[in-house]
């Protein structure tokens, strides 16, 4: 860690990053997808959500063992550097900096643009959606560059705000005694059914809804008492996400009923808003959804701005001396922020082109990186097991059980991603190519 880097984030900010990044807009519209795969079986829906949470709960516990044993910055990049090799750390760092973080930022900002168009009632063309997304991205980069305290405050505020409707629906569902509403006359009714083992197909899309949690490790060296707070954040954060998902799912199914949700699909949440809050219910709900998505954008930007600087501090990027320099006033590398911003803008352009041309129909650029990231995490989970075998980790649960479950969750995502997307082999090849650039760049620098 750079000596002049101060620790200005607390445990709550670390937890809110995990919760804020994982809980985006998807959870508001996920109940019908879960019930469709489970044939309307609410109990199986709960099982799916719990299994999906395995990946972050046990993944977080596993990474905790690594975070406790290193002082290196860069989050997971530092873990690769410390426990695998510096060249592998550079490879993963290039992947995170040039593919993973900017692609997710681009797509989530675009989603915020879509919901903003709906809220304002304006013509929702792709160009307007992307333009609004660009405005959101630019705003949060400027905020993170010029006022990191407000960026942390905004992350905490949006996390708390997005929990209001989710827990509100959960509480209403707990005390709900009225009968479920009738399915609208203009909607074709869908009944519950026995899907057999088909419910397992829900694991892949549900697992994706938990993605993004490792981003918090990128600010480890800016957190007060990181040896205590980072492990706590990696354990508490995922459990909070699971609790929110379960509470919301049980609440909305209790109020509307499984068949209503199956029949109306994504419209169910809007109908619930109108049922509980009257005609303005949909408008109020959209505001919460937009705040929720913007919290995700800010959280990822908060992590993204630190990545080039972290790599530069390890001489893993060209012009490292300039990029790694910390501005005393802003308490971060301004060059790192602008590099991250430029890469994100490039990916927003790529995203626009792919959506406009239908080049990757039914997909988006964020899927390029999500599956590959879990392939990378497997190396770290295996390393935890090896450390247990070597006697460096004493706990059987932390050294064997947690990483094994984390591996299981990661494999589910990888297999589900490959099966659901015919372009996935190409995506993986692109990510491998970026990793190769990072690997051989660092190798060449060490030789010099």
Range of the domain at 230: 11-311+324-442
Locate 435 and state its tokens: 């990793």
CB 109 within 8 A of CB 348: yes
> Rounded to an integer, what distance in angstroms lies between the CA atom of residue 128 and that of residue 122?
9
pLDDT of residue 4: 45
100's enclosing H/E stretch is none
Per the CB < 8 A criterion, the answer to whether 232 and 79 are in contact is no
Strand segments, DSSP code E, in 386-431 are none
For residue range 5-44, list pLDDT tens digits in order.
456 677 887 788 788 778 876 677 678 888 888 899 999 9
CATH of the domain at 145: 1.20.1740.10
pLDDT (tens digit per residue) in 325-382: 887 777 788 899 999 999 999 999 999 999 999 887 667 888 778 889 989 999 999 9
pLDDT number for residue 218: 67
Model's pTM, two decimal places?
A: 0.82
Tell me if 97 sits within 8 A of 85, measured CB to CB.
Answer: no
Q: CA 151, CA 439: separation in Å to the nearest integer?
A: 32
pLDDT of res. 208: 64
- Exposure on the CB side of residue 221, measured as CA atoms within 13 A: 22
216-254: burial string, b at 16+ Cβ within 10 Å, e else: bbbbbbbbeebeebbbebbbbbbbbbbebbbbbbbbbbb
As a whole number, mean pLDDT of residues 158-173 equals 88
For residue 399, CA distances in Å to 60, 65, 85, 390 come to: 13, 8, 21, 10
Domain count for the chain: 1
Q: pLDDT per residue over 33-87, tens digit each?
A: 888 888 999 999 998 888 877 777 888 888 888 887 887 877 788 899 999 999 9
Report if residue 317 sits inside a domain. no
Question: What pLDDT is recorded for position 72?
Answer: 80
Inside any domain, residue 447: no
The whole-number pLDDT of residue 57 equals: 81
Average of per-residue pLDDT values in the chain: 85
Can you state the angle between helices 31-38 and 226-256, rounded to 10 degrees?
70
Average pLDDT over residues 240-249: 90
31, 253 contact by CB (below 8 A): yes
pLDDT at 25: 66
CA distances to 129, 145, 366, 367 from 363, in Å: 17, 31, 8, 7
For 73-102, the pLDDT digits (tens) are 777 888 999 999 999 999 999 999 999 999
Q: Which are the contacts of 279, defined by CB distance < 8 A and separation ≥ 6?
A: none
Place 204 in a pLDDT band, splitting at 50, 70 and 90: low
Counting Cβ atoms within 10 Å, is residue 448 exposed (0-12), middle (13-18) or buried (19+)? exposed
pLDDT of residue 205: 65
Confidence (pLDDT) at 356? 92
Any domain includes 6: no
Question: Does 359 fall in a domain?
Answer: yes
């Amino acid at each position: 860690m750079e000596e002049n880097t101060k620790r200005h984030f607390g445990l709550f900010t670390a937890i809110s990053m995990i919760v804020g990044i994982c809980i985006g807009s998807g959870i508001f519209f996920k109940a019908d997808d879960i019930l469709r795969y489970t044939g309307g079986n609410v109990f199986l829906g709960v099982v799916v959500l719990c299994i999906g949470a395995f990946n972050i709960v046990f993944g977080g516990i596993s990474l905790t063992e690594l975070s406790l044993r290193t002082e290196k910055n860069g989050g997971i990049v530092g873990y690769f550097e410390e426990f695998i090799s510096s060249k592998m750390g550079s490879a993963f760092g290039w992947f995170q900096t040039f593919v993973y973080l900017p692609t997710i930022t681009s797509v989530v900002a675009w989603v915020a643009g879509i919901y903003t168009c709906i809220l304002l009632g304006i013509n929702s063309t792709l160009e307007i959606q992307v333009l609004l997304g660009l405005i959101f991205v630019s705003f949060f980069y400027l905020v993170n560059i010029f006022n990191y305290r407000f960026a942390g405050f905004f992350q905490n505020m949006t996390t708390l705000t997005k929990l209001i409707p989710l827990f509100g629906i959960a509480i209403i569902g707990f005390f709900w005694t009225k009968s479920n509403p009738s399915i609208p006359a203009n909607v074709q009714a869908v009944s519950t059914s026995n899907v057999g083992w088909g419910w397992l197909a829900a694991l892949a899309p549900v697992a994706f809804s938990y993605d993004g949690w490792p981003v918090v490790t990128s600010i480890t060296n800016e957190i007060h008492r990181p040896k205590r707070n980072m492990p706590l954040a990696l354990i508490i954060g995922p459990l909070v996400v699971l609790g929110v998902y379960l509470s919301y799912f049980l609440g909305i199914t209790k109020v509307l009923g499984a068949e209503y949700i199956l029949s109306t699909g994504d419209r169910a949440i809007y109908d619930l808003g109108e049922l509980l809050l009257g005609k303005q219910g949909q408008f109020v709900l959209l505001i919460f959804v937009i705040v929720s998505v913007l919290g995700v954008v800010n959280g990822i930007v908060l992590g993204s701005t630190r990545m080039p600087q972290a790599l530069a501090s390890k001489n893993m990027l060209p012009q490292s001396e300039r990029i790694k320099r910390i501005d005393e006033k802003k308490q971060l590398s301004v060059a790192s922020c602008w590099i991250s911003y430029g890469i994100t803008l490039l990916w927003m352009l790529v995203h626009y082109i792919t959506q406009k041309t239908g080049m990757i129909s039914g997909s988006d650029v964020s899927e390029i990186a999500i599956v590959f990231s879990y392939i990378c995490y497997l190396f770290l989970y295996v390393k935890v097991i090896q450390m247990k075998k070597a006697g460096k980790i004493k706990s059987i649960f932390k050294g064997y059980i947690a990483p094994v479950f984390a591996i299981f969750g990661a494999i589910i995502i990888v297999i589900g991603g490959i099966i659901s997307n015919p372009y996935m082999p190409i995506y993986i090849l692109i990510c491998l190519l970026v990793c190769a650039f990072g690997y051989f760049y660092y190798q060449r620098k060490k030789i010099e």
